[in-house]
Amino acid sequence: MSFQFDAARLIARSAVGRAFIHLLFRRLHWLLPVDYLHQTATILAFYHPKPSYKVHILIVPRDPIDNLTSLPLDDTALLHDIFETVQILVDKLKLERYRLICNGGAYQDIPHLHFHLVAD
């Protein structure tokens, strides 16, 4: 990994960085230079800015949720929107083979819950 990436990851994992990331997705998402594929009151979906796959979409909750273990299981609106968005995008992009990935712990570079919808 590059020095810049390591530095950015350290900043993102700091308390201030985490607060900014949560604010970005909650209130300032319009600042992100992306085209949204799908949006609801609870999630944003857009192409990954540095894709690792032919199709690489990020599905990000607007609420400040650090990781999968922090996901409130009684938040049925969010859970519904995540899986409905996956279904909508799979159908829209006509994906025959795809994966939905959620990294956690040391594998999670950005401390804000997000899912990767990927396909080759």
Distance CA 78, CA 62 (A): 9
pLDDT grade, residue 107 (50/70/90)? confident
State phi, psi for 19 to the nearest 5 degrees.
-65, -40
Distance CA 49, CA 4 (A): 16
What residue numbers bound the domain in which 24 lies?
3-119
Distance CA 117, CA 53 (A): 10
Number of domains within the chain: 1
Q: How confident is the model over 30-52, as pLDDT tens digits? A: 556 678 899 999 999 999 888 99
Q: For residue 46, what is the domain's CATH number?
A: 3.30.428.10
Q: What is the pTM of this model?
A: 0.77
